[in-house]
Structure 1
Amino acid sequence: MSQTQKPPFIWLNVLIFLSSFLVAVIGVPWFGIEHGFHAEHWLWLVVAFSFTNLSITAGYHRLWSHKTYEGHWLIRFIFALGGAFALQNSALHWSSDHRVHHKHVDKNDVDPYSAKRGFWFSHIGWMLRHYHRETYSDYSNCRDLQKDPIVMWQHKYYVPLAIATNVGIPLLLGIIYNDIWGMLLMVGVVRLVLCHHTTFFINSLAHIWGTQPYTDKNTARDNGILAFFTFGEGYHNYHHIFENDYRNGIHWWQYDPTKWLIKTCSWLGLAKKLRITPPLKIEKARAKKSLTEATEKIRTLPNSTQLSDALNKEFDTLVQRLSDYYDVKKQVIESKTNDIVKKYEHSILQLRYQQIKSDLQQQQRHWEMLMARYA
């Protein structure tokens, strides 16, 4: 095949994406005008949409693709059903593609949905043609998942599970509420289209629109608006540098319901070994990114060498203070649970901690003033 000749279409995918979209934007409004939708339709749309998306974000993505925590068989089973309902291929196949994406991010010839090939390709185009037919069934990067009986059960029976959930669940709700067509349209079609495209935004918009506070080594962006529509996955710049963290939104005020779900499951005994990135590594990454930006902006100034040396010295000082701060903080926490440590020793540690914290805050203010000067 020549380089200019495009691979053949995957006609099943084309049919599913096109037909569901057309029914959602044409058939559903017409049905709504003619027959109307009621509270139960909207309620189950939200429930089913949340179920499928969280099965992708908490299950396919953070559990199986990145192993950010260990899940009880019950939630793995639930996520396997929700993943089939989301109609985004099996967990094994999805995770394999995603691991390749992280390993070769932005490399057009290897990354399955490289954002550098444009919005359309990374959003949906990569699934419409046989761009990677030779690796379609190569799961050698997921040998760990092949040991999970639930993953392999879902992979083996993915097609009947997908049909059973996408037809059976809306049909059952239609029978319960005596409105089969209304439920098939809202919980079946509209939910599917919303689930597909909000998930696809992570591959497309989350690599185009937003900020890069942690790294500019790839196209991934942090975007709070996208986080709202993607159940917390919008903090994508953070995720691509710290992919083994079960959180995407690391601050309490960042919208990340996937993180909240995983944490809740851990309280209920359904998840364990939740992995988080050490705060020191996070702060160092942010500071390093600021240093890189500042160094680039002063590169053309006459005294760029001296300024660069001064900035690097400030960076080293900041990193040292950060390291001291987290070391002492760890000691203080450990001393609280150690009965052997005497009270006055704990008090001395507390005083040292407060002094180092004060020094760090002063250094951070100085660093931020320097960065603002070269912004």
Structure 2
Amino acid sequence: MRASAFVYPWDVNGDPEAPGRIAGLGVAQVTLAAAYHSTRALTPRHPRHRIVTAEYAAVLHPLGERWSDRDLRPHPAGDWAPGDAFGEAAAALTGAGLEVHSWVVLAHNSRLGAEHPHTCVVNAYGDRYPWAPCVSQPATRTYLADLAAEAAVRPGASGTELESLGWYGLQHLHAHDKTAGVVLGEAGQYLMSLCFCPACRAGYAEQGLEADELASAVRAALEPVWRGAADGDGWQGVERGLGAKTAAATRAWREAVARTLQEEVVAAVRAAAPEGFRVLLHADPVPYHCGANAGVDPAHILSVADGVVVPCADGTHRLAPFAEHAREDTVLAANLTVVRGLGGDPARLAADAARARAEGANELRLYHAGLASDADLAAVREGLAGR
């Protein structure tokens, strides 16, 4: 199976050994960040630094003219990825014989939320999630489509992988996270991720729901959770908390918003891209899930995009729902964590790749070549050689 390794530009730029080292892993491709959220990252082999602090969500390339008079706009990176950091890294990696795909993070942006609080998801208690833009708002949707088109189709890229193209909710690390004191369960996560901004309130009305009544019902459904009685039954727990009809109406609104956003963004990327440019989504086959791997309907998303990148590091069987709808040219990429410090086990790479292939995967994504230790990278080389 074709394999690609995730990489940041700061892993490559300023380290002349990096392109050859990555190519030497046995991968054919890199998935290189072009627009990324705030982070603090190790660079264990870089000759100039060991820690990179990306202080805010930023594009890692020059901004286009389209943003000059826009209220919602991305920000260029600071000194952690100055200038055309993506382009510089892409040229070096291409020179080492590697194909480059852009890696674009969309609906996850704390700076956008801080500067424009009205764009945020608002939960049933009135709390704003500054890291989570509400994807039902028209201005936000336009911003995301334009950001995707510009960041995805960069010189040197032959494809893109779009992350967080859908609803974001509570379940994501944010700054020094202190949200694990109460176990929410899958139903609690959904309820805490329902948005009550003006656009979503209007959307619920289209589904026959009164927003204030719905918010009250959500708060009541969450009361047992705060007492330590998280419901472990997933969607059935949501139905018990809200009633099946109300739960279905919330889901109908949210899934329609996500589906149409995905269609609009992929269309924007295709309009900007040359022929043959591949467009993949980081995806979860459960449509009501939130997060970096957006919840999608497998049949729908494979009719829109060229394929999906699916998290498989925890052994969860997420590939089969996509495999049922795959065409001959569909990309089903299994995303495997290969950094021990992040919970991965690169020594199991060959076995994990074989399991993923049996479930329908035809490509691998390895997270993350820049963060891994030398020992991790040695295990990756051995694992890819033994596929």
TM-score range, shorter chain: under 0.3
Identify, as 1 or 2, the structure richer in strand. Answer: 2
Could you state the TM-score of these two structures normalised by the residue count of structure 2? 0.25
Could you state the TM-score of these two structures normalised by the residue count of structure 1? 0.25
Identify, as 1 or 2, the structure richer in helix. Answer: 1
Greater CA radius of gyration, 1 or 2?
1
